[in-house]
Amino acid sequence: MDDERYERGRARFLEVHDEKALAAVEGLGDLGRAIVGFVYGDVYANDALSTRDRELAAVAALVALGRSSQIPQHLRASLKAGVTPDELREVILQTATIAGFPPAMNAMSTLRSILSEQGLDR
Amino acid sequence: MDDERYERGRARFLEVHDEKALAAVEGLGDLGRAIVGFVYGDVYANDALSTRDRELAAVAALVALGRSSQIPQHLRASLKAGVTPDELREVILQTATIAGFPPAMNAMSTLRSILSEQGLDR
Amino acid sequence: MDDERYERGRARFLEVHDEKALAAVEGLGDLGRAIVGFVYGDVYANDALSTRDRELAAVAALVALGRSSQIPQHLRASLKAGVTPDELREVILQTATIAGFPPAMNAMSTLRSILSEQGLDR
Amino acid sequence: MDDERYERGRARFLEVHDEKALAAVEGLGDLGRAIVGFVYGDVYANDALSTRDRELAAVAALVALGRSSQIPQHLRASLKAGVTPDELREVILQTATIAGFPPAMNAMSTLRSILSEQGLDR
Amino acid sequence: MDDERYERGRARFLEVHDEKALAAVEGLGDLGRAIVGFVYGDVYANDALSTRDRELAAVAALVALGRSSQIPQHLRASLKAGVTPDELREVILQTATIAGFPPAMNAMSTLRSILSEQGLDR
Amino acid sequence: MDDERYERGRARFLEVHDEKALAAVEGLGDLGRAIVGFVYGDVYANDALSTRDRELAAVAALVALGRSSQIPQHLRASLKAGVTPDELREVILQTATIAGFPPAMNAMSTLRSILSEQGLDR
C-alpha cells in the first residue's frame, strides 16, 4: 500500500476518531493497514458524503448488525461530527424497526454511558 | 390501535413513500397496521430526526442486513427526501466497509436501476 | 450413517412435511442425508417437544434469519401440525419486534399466498 | 404515546417478566417507551397467541440471531409461562439445525446457569 | 485510486474469475473500483494465502451469510482454482453445522447446477 | 444416538481440539451429544476434506458470522492442523471484504492473543 494513501488515511482517521483509536487499529497489522489505507484513505477521503452523514449511517449499520465492539467508537465519532444526542437516540430507535429491539436496547445502553461520561445526559 | 395514531401514521407514510407502497403495507393485516401505526405513527412522527436523515440511516441499515425486498422502497424514499444520487452511492460504498462487499454490490445494482428509471443516471 | 436412523428420519420427515419435500432434500446428496438422518432421525425424533411447538419455533427462527427459501415449507408444516393461521400471523408479527419489520413483511406475504392456496384466507 | 396503551403494556410486561426487567427497560427513554407501549401494549396484548407460545417463539428467534443480552430474560419468561426445562433444551437444540451450533452452545450454557439458579437442574 | 494498484487488481481479478465477471463489477462505479483496487489489488494480491485456500474460505463465509448473489461466482472460482467438487460439497455440509442447514441447502442446489453446467456432476 | 458413532466422534474431536474442549461440549447435554455424534462423528469423520481445510473454512464462517465465543477454539484447532499464523491473518483480512471490518477486527485481536500465548507472535 502506497505511503501517500496511508498518510491521507491516517489524517482522515484522526479527524473522525482520535489518537487512541488509531493506535488500536494500527496494532492489527495488515488488517489495520487496510482499515487506515482503504476505509479512511479511500472511502472516507471522498467528500461526496459529509462526516456527519457518514457517522449517522455507520451507527445505523453497526446497530443493525449488533456489532457491539465498534458501536462506542462510532457513537463518539458521531458526537464529534455534530450529530446531537437526540438524533443518536432517534437513529437507534428507528433502527429497532429495521433490525429488532434487542440490538437497539444494547446500543441505547452504550449511548447512555457515553453521554454520561461526556456530561451530555439530560 | 387507536384511530388518531393510525391516521397520523398514514399521513406520515404518504409523505415518505407513496400510495402504492401504502396499499402493499395495508395488505399485510395486523402486521401492516403495526407498521403504519407504530413505525410511521410513533417513530417517524417524531421530528427529532429529519426525514432525509432517517432515510439515509434506513438505507445503511437495510444494506447492512441485505434486506433486498425493502431496499428499493427506501432508496426511492431517500431520493424523495433529498438525498442525492452521489450520497446514496457513497452510503452504499461505506456500508461495504461495515457489512462486506456482497450486500453493497446488490444494493448498488438496485440503485442503478432506480436512478435509470427516474432519468437520474449519469 | 446407519440405516435404522435414516429410516426413522424418513418416517419422521414424512409426518412433518410430505413426499415432494423429501424428494427435494434427498436430491442434495450427503447434505440431504444429514438433514434426514440428523435433523429428523435424531432431533425431531425426540418427543421432548411436540411437532406443533417445533414448527412454531422453526417459523420464528427462520423468519428472524430471513431464510425465505425454507419459510414456505415450515409454514405448511405448521398448518399440518395444527398451528392456526391466526397463530402464524401473530408469531410473524411478534418476530418483527425481535428481528425487525423487513423479514416479517416478506414472511407475511408468503403466509398469505399459502393460506390462499389452501383456501384458508379470511 | 397515549397513557392507556402504555399502562396496558406495563401490566402485560409485568405478567411476562418482572419489576426489575421493567425498570431496566424504562431506563431506556423513548426506546423503552416504545418497547412497553408497542411490544407489550400492542403485540403481546393480543391474545391470538398464548404467552407460553410467544416465549417459545421468542427464544427460538433470539437464539437464531445470537442475541445473548436478551436471551436470559426470555428464558426466565419461558419458565414463568410454563415452558419446561426439557422443552427449552429441545428448542435450543432444534434451533442449532436452523442457525448452527455456535449460538445454540451459548444459549445452552445460559439456560444451564438459569436452571441452576432456580434449582431446576437435573 | 492509483493506476498501478487498479491494474494489479484487474489482472488478479481475471486470474480468479473471468472477463464477464469483471465487466459486471466495473459497471458498479466507485464500488466496482474499490472491489478491483482493494479486494483484488491489495488483499488477493498478497500471496500469504493461495487462491485455492482463498476461494475455499470465501465459499464458507458466503454460505454462512447466505449471500446467494455472490455464491455462484465464488463456486466457479473455486473450481477454477482447483477445489474439487467433493471438497465443495463437504465445505457446504460443514458450514451447515456452523450456520444452519437452510443456507447450506440453497448453496448445495446452486453447486449442483454449476457442476451440471460444467459436466462435473456424478 | 448409537455408541459407535459417538465414540468415532469423540476420537475425531480430540484429534481436532483437546480434552478440555471436549469436557465443555460434553457438559451441554443432548446438544453436546449432537455436536460430538453428528458434527465430529458424521461430518468431520468424512475424509473428503482435510482437517486443515476444514479449520480454514470454519474460521472464515465463524468470523463472517461474528461468533466470538467459538472463534478461539477454531483458531487453536487451525494452528494444530497446520494452518500458519500468516494464513490465519490473511483469511481474517479476506473475510473482512465479505463480512465487513468489524468482525474481522475482533477476530484479529483474538488471534493476536492466541499467538502470543503460544509464543508464535512475531
User: What residues have CB less than 8 Å from E1, skipping those under 6 apart?
Assistant: A42, E33, E34, E37
The mean pLDDT of D64-89, rounded to a whole number, is 98
pLDDT of residue D106: 98
pLDDT of residue F120: 93
- Over the stretch F22-57, which tens digit does the pLDDT of each residue have? 999 999 999 999 999 999 999 999 999 999 999 999
Interface residues from chain D to A (CB-CB < 8 Å): 25, 27-31, 34-35, 39, 62, 65-67, 69-70
Percent of chain F with pLDDT over 90: 96
| Preferred mutation among D38, D39, D46 to probe B, highest tally of B CBs within 10 A | D38
Percent of chain D with pLDDT over 70: 99
> 10 Å Cβ neighbour count for D1?
17
d(CA C66, CA F85): 35
d(CA E78, CA E84): 8
What is the CB-side half-sphere exposure of residue E30 using CA atoms within 13 A? 20
The mean pLDDT of F67-92, rounded to a whole number, is 98
- Over the stretch D105-121, which tens digit does the pLDDT of each residue have? 999 999 999 999 999 98
pLDDT of residue E98: 98
Percent of chain D with pLDDT over 90: 96
Percent of chain A with pLDDT over 70: 99
Question: Residue by residue, what is the 3-state secondary structure of chain B?
Answer: CCHHHHHHHHHHHHHHCCHHHHHHHHCCHHHHHHHHHHHHHHHCCCCCCCHHHHHHHHHHHHHHHCCCCCHHHHHHHHHHCCCCHHHHHHHHHHHHHHHCHHHHHHHHHHHHHHHHHCCCCC
Find the CB nearest C43 among D59, D67, D94: D94
- Over the stretch C66-90, which tens digit does the pLDDT of each residue have? 999 999 999 999 999 999 999 999 9
pLDDT of residue F1: 58
3-state secondary structure (DSSP) of residue C34: helix
The mean pLDDT of A82-92, rounded to a whole number, is 98
* Cα pseudo-dihedral C14, C16, C17, C22, rounded to 10: -40
- Over the stretch A92-114, which tens digit does the pLDDT of each residue have? 999 999 999 999 999 999 999 99
Q: What is the CA radius of gyration of chain A?
A: 15
Grade residue D2 by pLDDT with cuts at 50, 70 and 90.
confident
d(CA C37, CA E112): 21
Residue C1 pLDDT > 70: no
Q: Point out the residues of chain E with pLDDT beneath 50.
A: none
pLDDT of residue B29: 95
Residue F122 pLDDT > 90: no
- The per-residue DSSP string of chain E comes to --HHHHHHHHHHHHHHS-HHHHHHHHTTHHHHHHIIIIIIIIITT-TTS-HHHHHHHHHHHHHHHT-TTTHHHHHHHHHHTT--HHHHHHHHHHHHHHH-HHHHHHHHHHHHHHHHHTT---
Residue A7 pLDDT > 90: yes
pLDDT of residue A1: 58
Average pLDDT in chain A: 96
Residue D33's region, left for phi above 0, alpha for psi from -120 to 50, else beta, is: alpha
- The per-residue DSSP string of D70-100 comes to THHHHHHHHHHTT--HHHHHHHHHHHHHHH-
- Considering only CB atoms, which chain E residues are within 8 Å of A1? 42
> 10 Å Cβ neighbour count for F110?
16
Q: Point out the residues of chain B with pLDDT beneath 50.
A: none
Residue of F nearest to E57 (CA): F57
pLDDT of residue A2: 79
Residue F121 pLDDT > 90: no
Question: Residue by residue, what is the 3-state secondary structure of E44-68?
Answer: CCCCCCCHHHHHHHHHHHHHHHCCC
The mean pLDDT of C25-50, rounded to a whole number, is 97
Find the CB nearest F42 among C34, C43, C46: C34
Residue D90 pLDDT > 70: yes
Residue F86 pLDDT > 90: yes
Grade residue D37 by pLDDT with cuts at 50, 70 and 90.
very high
d(CA B111, CA B109): 5
For chain D, the farthest-separated pair of C-alpha atoms sits apart, in whole angstroms, at 46
Find the CB nearest C42 among F34, F43, F46: F34
- Considering only CB atoms, which chain E residues are within 8 Å of B104? 31
Question: Are F99 and B96 within 8 A, CB to CB?
Answer: no
**DSSP code of C70?**
T
| Preferred mutation among F4, F36, F38 to probe C, highest tally of C CBs within 10 A | F38
Question: Are A100 and C97 within 8 A, CB to CB?
Answer: yes
Evaluate whether B57 touches A90 at the Cβ level (below 8 Å). no
F12 or F2: whose pLDDT is higher? F12
pLDDT of residue B2: 80
